[in-house]
Structure formats: structure tokens, C-alpha cells
Structure 1
Amino acid sequence: MKKILLLLIVLISCKAEKKMTDSELCNVLSNLHLQDQYYRGLEELEDPFFVVLDSLIGANNLSRSEYAKLPKEEQIAFGKIARKITDSKPKISEREQDSLMRLQKELDYKATEKLLEIVKKYGFPDTEKLECENYAAPFLIFGHSPKKYWKEIDKIIEKEKLAGRIVEGDYKYIKWHIGGRKQNETDQIQIQVN
């Protein structure tokens, strides 16, 4: 009798999987976002042109709106200086870039699997409705997903769209990615995110 009772308790505890609170879900989503950007966000892999340009604008005691009102020639002069400074920065080798991107892809696999698990359990997360304090962009996880997951992601986001749980912009970005990142002539969406 004790063995049956113990077996019953084990079975019940296995089935009664704990549901995450909104706060816990936000933390997971925020961590997934950080993983998604971990190596992508490295200064060494990005062109710091606009950071340098903003610094030059500030160093000349100009606001962005004042800079925007400058004659085109002066704006171009600022741009040339910013490009010269940016290009003088030592670059990492192609081999190092490849190595970092391999590490990022490993994170992408894990993050994609975790987000698929979350979407299946809770629906596509709306970080505003969840009132997440830290920034999280779940669409970016699927937007950087490895090809092996594309069919599964396509099925799941179609389901989420029909259920009204994914906003149009997130849906289009994910579809663009899983469609091979080809520009759709009928949509002409502009992609501003990595």
C-alpha cells in the first residue's frame, strides 16, 4: 500500500508542473534577450560610427536637433570625421568574429528551445501586458533562430496570430527571418534590428 501511495504522489507531483508568475516569466524573457544579444552586442562586432558621431555632436555643444538643422555640408564634415575615427579603431580578425558568432549560435539554439517551450505553455509573451520591468524582445529570439526550428516556429506563430497573441510587427519580423530574410515585395517592411 505504501508503495502505491508513494508512486501516486510521485506521479501527481510530476504532472503538477509549477506555472511561472508574470514576474518569473519576465525574468526568463529578459535573460533570453540578454543571451540573444550577448555576442551580437559586442562593440568589436558592430560599427561604432553613430556612437562616435553622437560624441562629436556633443563635444561641439550641439543637440541632435541643432545638428539636424546644420547645412548638409557641415553634417557631411561631421560624418567624415566620425568615419575616420571609426576606421582607425583596431578591428578583430575574421577568425575571431567567426568564433564569437559560433558561440552566439550556441546561445541561439538554447534560447529558441526555451522560447518555444514558453510559447507552447503560455502563448506568445506580451511583455507590456506582463508589465516586465527589464527589456525583453521575444520576437528577436525567433528572429535569430537556427534554421532547424523554422518549420516549428512557423506553425506556432500562425497559431498565435490566429489566437491574437502576437502583434503584427513581431509576426512579420519572425516570418521575414524564417523566410530566409528575403524582402517581400508586397510588404516592403523595413528591418532595423540585427
Structure 2
Amino acid sequence: MPRPVLTLLALLIFCCTNKYDLNDDDIKNLNKIIDSMYLLDQGNRTRLYEIDSLYDVAPQTFMFVKNERILTERLGEKYVSYKNDIEQLMQEIQLVDHSNTQKLIDLTKTYGFPSNERLGVYKAKAYMIFVHAPREFFPEVSELISKEFNEGRINEYKMEYIFWHIKGREGFPPTSGENGKAIWRDLN
């Protein structure tokens, strides 16, 4: 084979393979990407509280169903505006969740799961992206996270927290125990 073809082939193989051993540049770039994804994710969710506060509605996350009848009685004619603001923001949240999930899947396939331990940061952010993954990604995220757990790139707590979301968010999510173990609360 001619030398340029071999060089091109080597570059393609290098660029298209998984890069699970992170160097300093990988870590720096991944931290920037994860931080920006997390800021978008949490920023929109914080705006839900701001809208509630603006309309003097008791702060609640979107996980809880707000009673439309009670809100209509309480807000009167402002209810339509409140509902429009919330619905518009929920559409933005859904777009960000979709985009963030796809990006994190791609990053994980390339670099392995970007846990805070692997990125050398105190606060774990990446797993929260998967905790907001849209339903259409559940099979792929589930398979990917199981693989990453078996390879030691995500701890049990973060894996179980993601699975809690994928399995329908029933009961309380796990809490983090010693060495990243998942601790489940007994509801009895």
C-alpha cells in the first residue's frame, strides 16, 4: 500500500477508536463540555422555580403534577399566561434533554463515562444528564451504563440513579453510600 494510504488508514483507526485512557487535554475538554451541558440542564430547571415564584405558585419541580383546578382558582385570568410560560419552558427543557443525552451517549462511547472521578472534579454532573434522558434513549442508555459499570467507569450509585429514572422514578432515588455504593431507602 502507498504510504499516504497507510497514513490515512492509521489516522482513521486512531480517530474512530475508543479513547478510555484520558490525557490532560481530554480531561480539560470533557470538563468544559460536561459543565456546559449541565448548566443548560439545570438552568432551565431553575427557571421553572422562577416562573412559579413570579406567579406566586408554591415551588414544585415538574416531577409533581400541579393541580390545574387549584391553579385556575388561585391565579384566575393569570393562569393562561402561567400555563403558556411553563409549557414553553418545558419544550425548551425537552430539546436540551434530547441534545444533551445524545451528546453524552456519543462522549461515553468515545471516552467512557465521564464520571467526576475520571475527570478529577468534586461534583458529579454527567450522570444527571442521563437522569433527564428522554424515553426514546432508555434502551441505549441502559445498555451503555451497564457496560460502563462493568468496566468500572461509573459507580453503583450513579448507575442505579440513572436506572431509577429509566424504570419510571418509582419511590425515592438511591442515595450515595461509602465508595459509591447505592443505598435504597426503605419506604416502610
Give the TM-score range, shorter chain.
0.5 to 0.7
**In structure 2, do the counterparts of structure 1 residues 128 and 142 end up closer, same or farther at CA, with 3 Å as the change threshold?**
same
Aligned partner (choices 106, 128, 146) of residue 158 of structure 1: 146
Query: Structure 1 CA distance, aligned partners of 2:149 and 2:3?
Result: 44
User: Which piece of structure 1 moves more, 29-38 or 124-133?
Assistant: 124-133
Percent of pairs identical after alignment?
Answer: 29
**What's the Cα RMSD here?**
3.4
Q: Could you list the runs of 4 or more consecutive aligned residues of structure 1 that deviate by over 3 angstroms after TM superposition? A: 4-16, 45-49, 186-190
CA apart distance, 1:23: 0.8
Per mean C-alpha deviation after superposition, the further-off stretch among 18-27 and 152-161 is 18-27
**Structure 1 gap ranges (5+):** 50-86
**8 Å Cα contact 2:97-2:133 kept in structure 1:** yes
| 1:122 matched to 2:125 | no
Q: After the TM superposition, which residues 20-59 of structure 1 pair with which residues of structure 2 at under 5 Å, given as runs?
A: 21-42=26-47, 43-45=49-51
Larger radius of gyration: 1
Query: Residue 170 of structure 2 aligns to which amino acid in structure 1?
Result: K
> Using CA pairs below 8 Å that are at least 6 residues apart, which structure has the higher relative contact order?
1
Q: Distance in 1 between matches of 2:186 and 2:138?
A: 20
- Aligned to 1:174, which of 138, 142, 162? 162
TM-score by length of 2: 0.64
- Per the normalisation by structure 1, the TM-score is 0.62
Structure 2's unaligned 5+ residue stretches are 20-24, 57-73, 173-182
Note closer, same or farther for the CA distance 1:189–1:169 as it changes in structure 2 (3 Å cut).
farther
Separation in structure 2 between the aligned mates of residue 34 and residue 167 of structure 1, nearest angstrom: 23
Question: What residue in structure 1 maps to residue 179 of structure 2?
Answer: none
> In the alignment, what sits opposite 2:137?
149
| Range 146-155 or range 28-37, more displaced | 28-37
Kept in 2, the 8 Å contact 1:124–1:166? The answer is yes
Counterpart of 1:17? Answer: 15
Question: How many residues end up aligned between the 2 structures?
Answer: 149
